[in-house]
Amino acid sequence: MSAEASAPDASARPLGAPPPIEERNWFLRLFMRQPYIVAFFIGITLITVMRPLTRHVPDAPAVMFQVPDFKLVDQDGKPFSLESMRGEVWVAGFIFTSCPSVCPKISRSMVELQEKFATFDIDARMVTFSVDPETDTPEVLSRYASTIGADTSRWSFVTGDRAAMEELVVGGFKLAMDEPKPVGETSMYDIAHSTKLALIDADGGIRGFYSTDELGLDEIYHRTQHVLRDLRRAGR
Crossing angle (nearest 10°) for helices 35-54 and 26-33 = 110
Contact between 219 and 60 under an 8 Å Cβ cutoff? The reply is: no
Q: What is the DSSP letter of 11?
A: T
The confidence score (pLDDT) of residue 134 equals 94
Quote the CA–CA distance of 60 and 13 in Å, as a whole number. Answer: 68
- Counting DSSP H helices and E strands in the chain, the numbers are 7, 10
Q: What is the pTM of this model?
A: 0.75
Q: What is the DSSP letter of 82?
A: G
Q: If phi over 0 gives left and psi between -120 and 50 gives alpha, with beta otherwise, what is residue 89?
A: beta
The confidence score (pLDDT) of residue 3 equals 47
- The pLDDT averaged over each successive group of 10 residues in the chain (236 residues) is 49 55 57 65 64 60 96 98 97 94 95 97 97 96 98 98 96 91 70 92 98 96 96 88
